[in-house]
């Protein structure tokens, strides 16, 4: 089975006319339901993350300023990042989902989980929201795993954009391996192959920047080679996935030429790493993907792989 985290609350992070919109999740949930995938999963109940959890990664001033922005009717946290009146509470619920999934997977309740949350997280830095992301969901999940005694975590980020927030948060943390494959050069500008970590974390960041126009075959070869090598170095006890689907060829703001079936391949690759090193333990969370019908197909094939 797979633990599947969904909630109608995630539709209430209102962003207006914006690519990161509630329609994305509506399409996903409709598609998973029609395919009979939802009923094959366990649907846990969980609570929003407390301040103490948010503060394990983010600065208190950042948390309070997002709360204040939502309370006063909303606005923008940065040029691209909309905060509505409900967004702070919805973002807390998203963090709660990935942390609950991590706890349950580590306790052995199930080996795999998929968190279909909004807002996404991988651009959020310790000190600021960024790039459609309020809190860094995947970083908070990794931190929660460390707090539960896990010694080595691997984050696999296949969103088409570099996960700059996650990289920055763990750049000097030897217990968290960050692997990112992304379009390059592209937003947000970080993620060159010479960014490999610092201090005790030197060597625990691995970036695979790929140019637009790369063939699917070359994409797969690069990911396979680098991911297997990096996983052998990290020997993770838990695999976390920043699952963005905006590398699909028809994504309106991303695209790295991928097709739906490439996400089945990526899912299998991440699961193989989890099986080899982490007793199959894998927690995946939704990041980008901005063509709602195509996103829904990609998420369905991802979940089918996890099942």
List residues with catalytic annotation.
123
User: Judged by CB, which is closer to Zn ion: 288, or 305?
Assistant: 288
What residues does 177 pair with on adjacent strands?
A: 154
# binding residues, Zn ion (CB under 5 A): 5
246 binds Zn ion (CB under 5 A): yes
Of 40-48, 50-58, 237-245, 258-266, the segment contacting Zn ion by CB under 5 A is 237-245
244 binds Zn ion (CB under 5 A): yes
Specify whether the CB–CB gap between 237 and 148 falls below 8 A: no
- Least CB distance to Zn ion at residue 286 (A): 11
Token pair 């195509």 is at which residue? 294
288 binds Zn ion (CB under 5 A): yes
What whole-number distance in Å separates Cα of residue 13 and Cα of residue 133?
A: 11
- Least CB distance to Zn ion at residue 84 (A): 20
Residues in 198-227 at the binding interface with Zn ion, rule: CB under 5 A:
none
80 binds Zn ion (CB under 5 A): no
User: Judged by CB, which is closer to Zn ion: 103, or 255?
Assistant: 255
Of 84-92, 110-118, 167-175, 280-288, the segment contacting Zn ion by CB under 5 A is 280-288
What does the block give as tokens for 154?
A: 């691997």
Of 7-15, 97-105, 227-235, 281-289, the segment contacting Zn ion by CB under 5 A is 281-289
Of 9-17, 98-106, 152-160, 201-209, the segment contacting Zn ion by CB under 5 A is 152-160
What whole-number distance in Å separates Cα of residue 104 and Cα of residue 4?
A: 12
User: Judged by CB, which is closer to Zn ion: 96, or 244?
Assistant: 244
**Which backbone phi and psi does 6 adopt, to 5 degrees?**
-140, 155
Helices (H), 170-210: none
- Least CB distance to Zn ion at residue 276 (A): 27
178 CB-near residues (< 8 Å, 6+ apart)? 155, 157, 163, 166, 167, 170, 204, 205, 206
Of 71-79, 198-206, 270-278, 285-293, the segment contacting Zn ion by CB under 5 A is 285-293
Residues in 154-173 at the binding interface with Zn ion, rule: CB under 5 A:
159, 161
Strands 81-83 and 75-78: antiparallel
What whole-number distance in Å separates Cα of residue 67 and Cα of residue 203?
A: 36
User: Judged by CB, which is closer to Zn ion: 23, or 35?
Assistant: 23
20 binds Zn ion (CB under 5 A): no
- Least CB distance to Zn ion at residue 132 (A): 8
119 CB-near residues (< 8 Å, 6+ apart)? 13, 20, 87, 90, 91, 94, 132, 133, 134, 135
- Least CB distance to Zn ion at residue 175 (A): 25
- Least CB distance to Zn ion at residue 67 (A): 25
Q: Can you count the helices (H) and strands (E) in the chain? A: 9, 9
List the x/- string, 102-141, binding to Zn ion by CB under 5 A: ----------------------------------------
What whole-number distance in Å separates Cα of residue 210 and Cα of residue 50?
A: 38
Helices (H), 72-133: 87-107
Contacts to Zn ion by CB under 5 A: 159, 161, 244, 246, 288
């Amino acid at each position: 089975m797979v633990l599947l985290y969904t909630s109608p609350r995630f539709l209430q992070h209102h962003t207006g006319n914006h690519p990161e919109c509630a329609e994305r999740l509506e399409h996903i949930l409709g598609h998973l339901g029609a395919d009979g995938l939802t009923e094959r999963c366990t649907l846990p109940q969980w609570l929003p993350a407390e301040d103490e959890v948010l503060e394990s990664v983010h600065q208190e001033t950042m948390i309070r300023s997002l709360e204040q922005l939502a309370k006063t009717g909303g606005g923008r946290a940065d040029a691209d990042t909309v905060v509505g009146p409900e967004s702070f509470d919805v973002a807390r619920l998203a963090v709660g989902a990935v942390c609950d999934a991590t706890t349950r997977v580590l306790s052995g309740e199930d080996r795999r989980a998929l968190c279909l949350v909004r807002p996404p997280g991988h651009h959020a830095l310790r000190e600021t929201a960024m790039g459609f992301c309020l809190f860094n969901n995947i970083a908070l999940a990794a931190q929660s795993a460390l707090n539960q005694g896990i010694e080595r975590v691997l984050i696999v980020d296949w969103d088409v954009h570099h996960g700059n927030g996650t990289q920055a948060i763990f750049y000097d943390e030897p217990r968290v391996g960050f692997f990112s494959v992304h379009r390059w050069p592209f937003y947000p500008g970080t993620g060159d192959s010479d960014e490999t970590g610092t201090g005790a974390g030197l060597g625990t960041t691995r970036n695979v920047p790929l140019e637009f126009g790369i063939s699917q075959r070359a994409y797969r070869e690069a990911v396979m080679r680098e991911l297997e090598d990096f996983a052998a170095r990290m020997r993770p006890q838990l695999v976390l996935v920043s699952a963005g689907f905006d590398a699909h060829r028809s994504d309106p703001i991303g695209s790295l030429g991928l097709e739906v079936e490439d996400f089945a391949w990526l899912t299998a690759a991440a699961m193989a790493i989890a099986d080899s090193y982490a007793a199959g333990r894998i927690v995946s969370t939704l990041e980008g993907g901005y063509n709602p019908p195509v996103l829904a197909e990609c998420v369905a094939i991802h979940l089918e792989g996890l099942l």
